[in-house]
Amino acid sequence: MNITVVGTGYVGLVTGACFANAGNKVTCLDSDSQKIESLNRGEAPFFEPGLSELMTRSIEAERLQFTDNPATAYEQANVIFICVGTPTDDGGKCDLSQIKSVACDISTYIHQCNDTPLIVVKSTVPVGTTQSVASTIEGNFSIANNPEFLREGNALDDFMRPDRVVCGVEDEHAQEVLQQLYAPFVGQGRPLLFFDIQSSEMVKYASNAMLACKISFINEIASLCERNGADIDHVRTGMCADSRIGNQFFNPGIGYGGSCFPKDTLAVMEMGEDTNAPCLVNTAVHELNQRQRVWFAKRILDHFENNLTGKKIAMWGLAFKPRTDDVRDAPSIDIAKTLLDAGAEVIGFDPEAWETFQSEVPDVTIAMDMYAALDQADAVVICTEWAEFSAPDFSRVLSLLRAPVIFDGRNMYPCSEMEKLGFNYYSVGRPTVKICPSLLINT
């Protein structure tokens, strides 16, 4: 099939590369001309395991190409996937300007497409947007909504082995085309689900809101544990043994970040306000998530009696999660800024996200090695649970740090081990490990 994908962010690029890999002829259109050349060389503009290799294979096989020319892109298209960004604008509202401009483009070039093209909205959009896109396009076409559930750092696997594929359609043509397109990726317990368009749009928000809710819930319980001498690890184990509750997305920590959960919980709140049914749960989820990173930073300030002048703080992990270089709405940004404002010198290490982080917080010094970051630091703060932090050489850590103090925002280590090793160890929802003050300074 001839597929046109509009927008080459996470969703567009992964969608294009995976459909091309399945044998379709894919043209990706992006208005950012600068990107086109490097994309056609198989270079993804962000770090995503396996993506560049997958792109290169299909580019070499002439199944995948990139262009900034709409006339080229829409020529002979059977299916058009709209995958442009829908960021939150300054007013906290979902910005649909890119979607609207693509709809205008399609209206201009639709006569070039094949027969009755199928237009699929894959961007995350408030309910009703897909219909409004359809109402602005003149011509003969089918319309559908098809939300994406891929996770950064796991995108290819999430696309090619999805838990489910959700489609919102209103005619048989759309259903048939999507059945054909997704046939290689579904089956064996991975359903292809067809609903009405509004429900399909809402599935995306409900799914992300539920996942974000689980995270804020466990973080709320974690802070209760901190204040009542309980241990969140035990509580979670006991709670999640109930099959009705499940055990995924209940990892306590400094809260969620990224380009999806923060934006989508706000969009759900907006939909509630716009329809006079304020979303109280989502509002609490959002507020608690904001509070989580502030509280964690406060524990660091409390440890240093609110004066970090002359102190050097190392940060391990800057990305909003492992296996990505994405720092959008990363808790590490707020924590670093709080430490800098309190007078600290902050030195950060991240295997991938150092460049993206530095453009957000230029006052943080970047170390190119995780141990170099610790040299003569008064404490280390862990914000991202990268694999390489899971079993570090603790004797080397002890010898490098000026004081054996760890603030672990991702609960990476057992408290008992930290006690045995002689660390002052703060984590989330677990008893703090305190060692006697005289051992604190390593001059």
Provide the annotated active-site residues. 260
Hey, is 53 helix, strand or coil? helix
Residue 215 in contact with ligand UDX, rule: CB under 6 A: yes
Least distance CB 261 / ligand UDX (angstroms)? 5
Nearest Cα to 378, choosing from 443, 298, 432, 427? 443
Q: What mask, x for binding ligand UDX by CB under 6 A, covers residues 379 to 418?
A: ----------------------------------------
Q: Is the dihedral of CA 26, 31, 36, 39 positive or negative?
A: negative
Nearest Cα to 121, choosing from 162, 72, 54, 166? 166
Residue 253 in contact with ligand UDX, rule: CB under 6 A: yes
Nearest Cα to 371, choosing from 353, 352, 344, 394? 394
Residue 74 in contact with ligand UDX, rule: CB under 6 A: no
E strands, 74-175, in order = 79-82, 118-121, 142-145, 165-169
Whether 306 contacts 341, CB under 8 Å: no
Residue 429 in contact with ligand UDX, rule: CB under 6 A: no
Least distance CB 150 / ligand UDX (angstroms)? 5
> Of 236 and 311, which CB lies nearer to ligand UDX in the complex structure?
236
Hey, is 204 helix, strand or coil? helix
Stretch that binds ligand UDX, among 19-27, 162-170, 248-256, 422-430 (CB under 6 A): 248-256
> Of 4 and 208, which CB lies nearer to ligand UDX in the complex structure?
208
Stretch that binds ligand UDX, among 39-47, 106-114, 144-152, 297-305 (CB under 6 A): 144-152
Which ranges in 195-260 belong to alpha helices (H)? 197-228, 232-240
Q: Is the dihedral of CA 10, 11, 17, 22 positive or negative?
A: positive
Residue that the structure tokens 């298209």 belong to: 77
β pairing state of 365-366 and 192-195: unpaired
**Cα distance between residue 195 and residue 198, in whole Å:** 8
**Cα distance between residue 285 and residue 240, in whole Å:** 20
> Of 63 and 321, which CB lies nearer to ligand UDX in the complex structure?
321
Least distance CB 72 / ligand UDX (angstroms)? 29
Q: Please report, as residue ranges, which positions from 316 to 375 form the binding site for ligand UDX (by CB under 6 A).
A: 320-321
> Of 70 and 258, which CB lies nearer to ligand UDX in the complex structure?
258
Q: Is the dihedral of CA 300, 301, 303, 308 positive or negative?
A: positive
Residue 250 in contact with ligand UDX, rule: CB under 6 A: yes
**Cα distance between residue 160 and residue 148, in whole Å:** 12
Least distance CB 251 / ligand UDX (angstroms)? 3
> Of 191 and 343, which CB lies nearer to ligand UDX in the complex structure?
191
Q: Select the residue interacting with ligand UDX from 149, 194, 195, 295 (CB under 6 A).
A: 149
Stretch that binds ligand UDX, among 61-69, 109-117, 256-264, 392-400 (CB under 6 A): 256-264
Q: Please report, as residue ranges, which positions from 268 to 327 form the binding site for ligand UDX (by CB under 6 A).
A: 320-321
> Of 42 and 153, which CB lies nearer to ligand UDX in the complex structure?
153
Q: Select the residue interacting with ligand UDX from 126, 258, 404, 429 (CB under 6 A).
A: 258
Q: Select the residue interacting with ligand UDX from 83, 133, 150, 370 (CB under 6 A).
A: 150
**Cα distance between residue 19 and residue 71, in whole Å:** 21
Residue that the structure tokens 């507020």 belong to: 287
Amino acid in the structure at residue 190: R
Q: Select the residue interacting with ligand UDX from 211, 333, 361, 382 (CB under 6 A).
A: 211
Task: Please work out the total of residues on this chain that contact ligand UDX, with binding judged by CB under 6 A.
Answer: 19
Residue 249 in contact with ligand UDX, rule: CB under 6 A: yes
Structure token pair of residue 58 = 């299909």
Hey, is 119 helix, strand or coil? strand
Which residues of the chain form contacts with ligand UDX (CB under 6 A)?
Answer: 148-152, 208, 211, 215, 249-251, 253, 256-258, 260-261, 320-321
